[in-house]
């Protein structure tokens, strides 16, 4: 990260991804996946790291390559999830140019002026967005105003810029009106977003769930607009005693299911697979889990088991919902 006191998050590196591709049939791969870049095989990930080190050297930088990032002599850290995901979609012959373009953009940002110092209050207001992030991927989280949206997911304030996204720290939040005022504007700007792609996806055993997909890095953050957004786009009414299911696999995907009947069982299973694959196979991961709105907050339904897989835990409250939908059926 740079020393400007604000956190940068990358824009998408390309716009060719097929969002429903996680359901495509994949060829059998005998090699185990890399533990830090699960969408790459171990050998592919090692090749990616070797090429990245070479590109750094070509730019005059000596770095220490770690499994998930690199560190230069001045202590700057470079993460590679997004560019690695972009490389995953391209032949290895194209990797060097993709990595080079990414590093040039990142290195250029270190010397760029602080946008919070040069933009007017009106410009900042128009560019402010409420954004959902994976809590584990934000360094020094205490340095930035935030709130828990769901277990493992935090809501932060983002400044939308042409080539990147900057996260408001405490100083910049105070400078431009404080958390509450900026959040109101950030939610307003989310509401102004156009719907890019809305899909109804069949669930195992009947029923379905809905996926809102888009190239915008704020697509998943529209989860902050639930349940009104879901009702507006699907015409379904929320039953307060039942709630809804929600998952945000990555910044480009928001998934939900409005609970109406016993198809909720299949929806949980289908969404769990969708979320896990979308989290591990796309840039900007947010969460691999499925959550249920229990009337006051989001309750996590899926959990990582001892063998690394996902398991579903049913609380007494969610069991009541399942019993109710079964009786309704």
| Number of domains into which the chain is organized | 3
Any domain includes 168: yes
| pLDDT tens, position by position, 267-323 | 999 999 999 999 887 778 899 999 999 999 999 999 987 776 789 999 999 999 999
User: Residue 98's domain spans which residues?
Assistant: 7-14+29-111
**Of 73, 99, 17, whose CA–CA distance to 282 is shortest?**
17
1 within domain boundaries: no
On whether both 235 and 148 belong to a single domain, the answer is: no
pTM: 0.77
From 267, 125, 275, select the one nearest 186 (Cα to Cα). 125
User: At which of 78, 111, 144 does a domain end?
Assistant: 111
Write down the pLDDT at residue 328: 57
Q: With respect to residue 20, please indicate whether it lies within any of the assigned structural domains.
A: no
What pLDDT digit, counting tens, does each position of 52-64 carry? 999 999 988 888 8
Give the dihedral of Cα atoms 159, 165, 166, 168; nearest 10 deg: 50
pLDDT at 154 over 90: yes
Q: Which residue carries 């249920």 as its tokens? A: 292
- State the pLDDT confidence band at 9, using cuts at 50, 70 and 90: low
pLDDT for the residue numbered 11: 53
pLDDT digits (tens, 9 = 90+) for 24-48: 444 444 567 777 776 788 899 899 9
Residue 13 · residue 98 · CB < 8 Å: yes
Domain end: 127, 157, 191, which one?
191
Same domain, 273 and 202: yes
pLDDT, tens only, 229-268 = 999 999 999 998 999 999 999 999 999 999 999 999 999 9
For residues 169 and 273, membership in a common domain is answered with no
- Whether residue 293 lies inside any domain: the answer is yes
Q: Where does a domain end: 96, 111, 126? A: 111
| Three-state secondary structure readout of 194-261 | CCCEEEEEECCCCCEEEEEECCCCCCHHHHHHCCHHHHHHHCCCCCCCCCEEEECCECCEEEEEECCC
Judge whether 289 lies within some domain: yes
Same domain, 57 and 143: no
Give domain status of residue 223, yes or no.
yes
Q: Is 166 helix (H, G, I), strand (E, B) or coil?
A: strand
């Amino acid at each position: 990260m740079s020393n400007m006191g604000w956190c940068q998050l990358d824009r998408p590196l390309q716009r060719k991804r097929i969002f429903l591709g996680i359901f495509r049939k994949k060829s059998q791969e005998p090699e185990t996946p890399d533990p830090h870049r699960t969408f790459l095989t171990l050998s592919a990930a090692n090749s990616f790291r070797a090429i990245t080190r070479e590109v750094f050297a070509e730019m005059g930088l000596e770095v220490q390559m770690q499994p998930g990032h690199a560190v230069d002599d001045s202590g700057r850290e470079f993460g590679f999830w997004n560019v690695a995901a972009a490389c995953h979609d391209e032949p290895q012959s194209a990797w060097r140019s993709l990595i080079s373009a990414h590093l040039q953009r990142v290195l250029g940002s270190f010397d760029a002026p602080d946008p919070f110092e040069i933009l007017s209050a009106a410009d900042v207001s128009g560019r402010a967005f409420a954004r959902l992030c994976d809590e584990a991927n934000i360094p020094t989280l205490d340095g930035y105003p935030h709130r828990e949206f769901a277990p493992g997911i935090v809501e932060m304030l983002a400044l939308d810029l042409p080539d990147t996204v900057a996260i408001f720290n405490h100083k910049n939040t105070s400078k431009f009106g404080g958390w509450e005022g900026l959040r109101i504007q950030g939610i307003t700007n989310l509401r102004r977003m156009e719907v890019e792609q809305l899909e109804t996806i069949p669930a195992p055993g009947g029923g379905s769930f809905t996926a809102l997909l888009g190239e915008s890095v704020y697509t998943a953050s529209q989860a902050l607009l639930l349940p009104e957004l879901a009702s507006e786009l699907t015409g379904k009414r929320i039953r307060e005693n039942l709630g809804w299911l929600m998952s945000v696999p990555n910044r480009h995907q928001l998934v939900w299911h409005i609970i109406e009947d016993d198809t909720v069982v299949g929806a949980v299973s289908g969404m769990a697979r969708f979320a896990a694959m979308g989290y591990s196979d796309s840039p900007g991961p947010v969460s691999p889990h499925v959550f249920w709105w229990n009337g006051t907050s989001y309750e996590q339904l899926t959990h990582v088991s001892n063998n690394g897989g996902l398991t579903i835990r049913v609380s007494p409250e969610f069991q009541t919902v399942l019993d109710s939908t079964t009786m309704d059926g």
